[in-house]
């Protein structure tokens, strides 16, 4: 049985130019499904096979292992972007454990 998709708090990256959100448990995202969901919501997405780059303000990178990087220096903007993405992330979780 897989664990529900849960994330740690949004936190400033060490370079202080973006925020990161890390999953609490190992996950594997179905990037194709996520890409289609993002495109269906009107977001431009660059698919580079192991990650998606969601264009716009803020630009967001979503990795196959569930990590999310949000390029902004404003915490409230990062939190709002993550809240918009979370429902789509939850639909793209691959069943079973990650290979982390």
Cis check: omega of the bond before 64, within 30 degrees of 0: no
Q: Assess contact for 60 and 85: CB atoms under 8 A.
A: yes
pLDDT score for 96: 52
Report the alpha-carbon distance of residue 69 to residue 21 in Å, rounded.
7
Average pLDDT over residues 14-32: 91
Report the alpha-carbon distance of residue 19 to residue 72 in Å, rounded.
7
For residue range 51-64, what is the model confidence (pLDDT) as tens digits? 999 999 999 999 99
Domains of the chain: residue spans and CATH: 11-91 (3.30.310.10)
Q: What is the pTM of this model?
A: 0.86
């Amino acid at each position: 049985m897989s664990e529900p998709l849960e994330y740690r708090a949004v936190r400033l990256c060490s370079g202080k130019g973006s925020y990161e959100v890390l999953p609490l448990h190992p996950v594997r995202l179905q990037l194709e499904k996520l890409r289609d969901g993002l495109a269906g919501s009107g977001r431009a997405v660059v698919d580079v096979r192991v990650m998606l780059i969601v264009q716009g303000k803020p630009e967001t990178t979503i990795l196959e292992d569930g990590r999310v990087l949000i390029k902004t220096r404003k915490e409230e903007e990062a939190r709002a972007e993550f809240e918009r993405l979370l429902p789509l992330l939850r639909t793209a979780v691959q069943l079973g454990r990650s290979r982390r």
